[in-house]
Structure 1
Amino acid sequence: MVKHQRCPVDPGSPDQSLRRKLLHITKRLGDLGLNRGTSGNCSVRNASGFLITPSGMTIDEMSSESMVSMDFSGSIIGGGAPSSEWFFHRDILQHRPEVGAVIHTHSVFATTLSCLRKDLPPFHYMVSVAGGANIRCARYALFGTQALSDVALKALDGRRACLLANHGMIVLGRDLDVALAVAVEVETLCEQYLRALQAGEPYLLTDDEMSEVMERFKGYGLWAKY
């Protein structure tokens, strides 16, 4: 249960630029069609813990002041009610110190694949942007629960993206811009894979071929800066 220690948001606090960035990325997710209505949520690490998007609020209703500040004990430091998915945002940021931002979407193709409860296999070399030779689908757990966080953490082991069975996707990044780029790429890959399945059974790259790709990505543009 969330512990409430509500404090007014200081408009001059260092978090203001992060709040504005979090709002910007949330709006970009809507503009790109990766989230619609009140679906999905985002978070970003800050000095006291993390900022997360609010619960039950459409993108158009959000402002930078809507963003909720929490610490890693689950207490609210400033703002209203956080997204119901704060458990996995908290746990990912707490257990993965290299991660600075978490994005969760209900995008059409990632969610469709998650409803088939399929991993995304190495049908295309860009699967490696998630940090490995596949993108795992976590087993089903009820939204907004510690159980969902637990299965997500397992599926994200050694990865910066996973699917959530019958739910959507989670992606990670060193910052919000990288996390957004990963989300766009994962959604694109899910669409490509589903379309390939309509035509037949895609050929898969071997472990050796994927290892070569991941080695190349160590110095490749945005993905080298994860």
Structure 2
Amino acid sequence: MLLEQERRDVCLTARALAAGTGTAPGESGTVSVRSGDLVVVTPHGVPLDQLQAADCPVMSLDDRVLEGRRDPAAEATLHLAVHRRAADHGDEVTAVVNAFTADTVAVSAVLAELPPIHHRAAALGGAITVTPYTLYGTGEIADHAVKALKGRDAALLAGHGGLALGHGLEHALENLRLLDWLSTAYLRARQVGEPRALSEDELAQVRHRDTYGWAGPDIW
């Protein structure tokens, strides 16, 4: 079976996504991972927690299905666009996860941008762009997502939810969970008042601080 281990890893990630992020029932998102010029993606028509490795299509970067007993998920178009850009630019991004969680959908339906109200937002690149609403599974939503992801490891798709990248499936899922947490924190803060967003200088300080580990930049 082509890319057997990658297909198993996609299934494990899909099950973790369904179990741990409060996603919508059924087909609540899409998971993909790239190995060279080939991409494994979750299929259409199967709940994430019921996937088997043979269900997952293997695709080429030019949108051809090479193997798999089911058709690709509708958002395979979006995922392949992100993977093509990563491959063309030599990025370390090899995995993409998108999901319909209640809080990412809520934020994406209201805001044009998710402000960075916590220092962990620096790990995703800072403020998170919300793309214009577009029908899922189209080239238009893929184009919007690729644009929103420039300099970022996550984006919000208006009316759809969150999208995150990573240099592996575990990292992409971690980033998706962080995006969901930041969305939750923002929604709770808005119940109290207008949240204060961190400035670009403050985010730069966070990134600088992160390079030093526990000791911090003032170590002797």
TM-score of the superposition, structure 2-length normalised? 0.90
- 1:20, CA displacement in angstroms? 1.0
Q: In the alignment, what sits opposite 2:32?
A: 43
C-alpha distance 48-206 of structure 1, shift in aligned 2 (>3 A):
closer
- 1:117, CA displacement in angstroms? 3.2
Of the three residues 6, 9, 33, the one matched with 1:18 is 6
User: How many residues matched?
Assistant: 208
Gaps of 5+ in 1: 1-9, 222-226
Q: For the aligned residues, what is the CA RMSD?
A: 1.5
Q: In the alignment, what sits opposite 1:66?
A: 55
Give the Cα separation in 2 of the matches to 1:182 and 1:194. Answer: 18
1:87 aligns with 2:77: yes
C-alpha distance 47-204 of structure 1, shift in aligned 2 (>3 A):
closer
- 1:40, CA displacement in angstroms? 0.6
Displacement over 4 Å in runs of 4+: 218-221
Identity %: 31
- 1:216, CA displacement in angstroms? 2.7
- 1:56, CA displacement in angstroms? 1.8
Give the Cα separation in 2 of the matches to 1:162 and 1:207. Answer: 18
Give the Cα separation in 1 of the matches to 2:22 and 2:80. Answer: 22
Of the three residues 13, 16, 25, the one matched with 1:28 is 16
C-alpha distance 157-49 of structure 1, shift in aligned 2 (>3 A):
same
Gaps of 5+ in 2: 215-220
- 1:206, CA displacement in angstroms? 1.9
Q: In the alignment, what sits opposite 1:127?
A: 121
SS of residue paired to 1:191: helix
C-alpha distance 218-76 of structure 1, shift in aligned 2 (>3 A):
farther
User: What amino acid maps onto 2:84 in structure 1?
Assistant: Q
- 1:72, CA displacement in angstroms? 1.1
User: What amino acid maps onto 1:19 in structure 2?
Assistant: R
| CA displacement 1:12-68 (0-9 Å, x = unmatched) | x4x111111110000001111343311210000024420000012112431011111
Q: In the alignment, what sits opposite 1:112?
A: 106
User: What amino acid maps onto 2:18 in structure 1?
Assistant: G
Q: In the alignment, what sits opposite 1:151?
A: 144
TM-score of the superposition, structure 1-length normalised? 0.87
- 1:220, CA displacement in angstroms? 5.4
Give the Cα separation in 2 of the matches to 1:47 and 1:138. Answer: 28
1:211 aligns with 2:204: yes
| CA displacement 1:147-189 (0-9 Å, x = unmatched) | 0000001111110100001111110000000011111111111
SS of residue paired to 1:136: strand
